Amino acid sequence: MVRTLDVDPAALDAYERSYESSDRPKISVVVPVYDNPAGLERTVRSVTGTSFEDYELRTVVTPSSGETLQRAEALAAEFDRVAVDTETEYETPANARNVGIEASSGEIVHFLDDDMSVRDGHFWTIAWLFDSTPVEYLGGEVEVAKESGSDTVWEWYDAHVRFPNEFFMNWVDFCPTCCLAVDRSLVSDGVGFDPTLVSGEDIVFGHRLSEQGAEFGYCPALVAEHPARSTLGGVVRKGTKTGQGLYQLYHHSEADMFDRSPLLDLERYLPRADSHLPALCSEWDALDRSERAAMIGIHYVERLARQWGYARRVVTERVSS
């Protein structure tokens, strides 16, 4: 069961005013990054610009050389609370998070993706909720924002369908790791993310913790911002990566999530009104007929990209074996 957690502004304000750092939880922010120096800088400057001070920010860089690492090291030199780790064994975001967990020391571990930004009050809200409620696994909302001056149909689509975190938590038992905070006790003793997964590791992580009886909470007022994908290529790349992750989930860890291989599900190849699309799409009821048709069409393109990613992984695995 997922507990919906509302924020009482007066109580949160009183918490901030009476805050004694020695009695309050430290937050370890873990940000995996792969070859994205500009996105990493966006996130680091956003986090370090907040008024909350009891935190550390660990950036975990893959690959362990190049411009992204140089940018991470420069940011660590500029900000005292920022540290740099590298991940070379698996070169996956999942294992980068494991490296960050192992290197961090906070009572709360908060995962953000590179390219994310947060508002002032974000970490105060997390600390207050963990202090005042029994929550152990806390999901927030992700707001997909268009770039300034840009307005493409792909951004419009991305802003409407991406990160329906409340739906994910209530129906799929997980929150994407782009805005997720967990109690340190849940990731102690080496418990973390499956390092072999290229996508979907947050699903497996959430399922395991749900089965263990962790206290799940969702807070709609806890908001992080993610830039929208502005091109067809961005939407296709997202779908392809998801398809690769689905292959791994089906074959290696979470086969019970599927009735059969997605490649054998003929409905995945057909243009249709996805039954989950109204739940995934914010403001679905406000869209007119042409907008819904556009949404269904682009979603179909992304579904085909997922099938392609899955099929490509099948071929790669068979060739390598």
pLDDT tens, position by position, 140-197: 999 988 775 667 888 888 888 888 899 899 988 999 999 999 999 999 877 799 998 8
Alpha-carbon span 185 to 214, nearest angstrom: 10
Q: Count the Cβ atoms, other than its own, within 10 Å of residue 81.
A: 15
Q: Does residue 265 have a pLDDT over 90?
A: no
Alpha-carbon span 76 to 56, nearest angstrom: 11
Domain range summary for the chain, segments of one domain joined by +: 2-227, 232-320
Which pLDDT does position 220 carry in this prediction?
95
The CATH code for residues 2-227 is 3.90.550.10
User: Could you tell me the pLDDT band of residue 255, with boundaries at 50, 70 and 90?
Assistant: very low
pLDDT over 70, % of the chain: 93
Alpha-carbon span 318 to 321, nearest angstrom: 5
pTM of the model: 0.87
- Note the pLDDT tens digit of each residue in 224-241: 999 888 888 988 988 898
Question: Which is higher by pLDDT, 286 or 150?
Answer: 286
- Under DSSP, the state recorded for 250 is I
State the average pLDDT for the chain.
88
CA atoms within 13 A on the CB side of 102: 15
Average pLDDT over residues 287-305: 90
Tokens 């950036």, located at residue: 59
Which pLDDT does position 249 carry in this prediction?
77
Least confident piece of the model among 14-23, 83-92, 178-187, 235-244: 14-23
71, 97, 98: which is closest to 82 by C-alpha?
A: 71
Average pLDDT over residues 22-26: 79
Alpha-carbon span 28 to 56, nearest angstrom: 5
C-alpha pair distances (Å), 7 with each of 12, 72, 125: 7, 33, 8
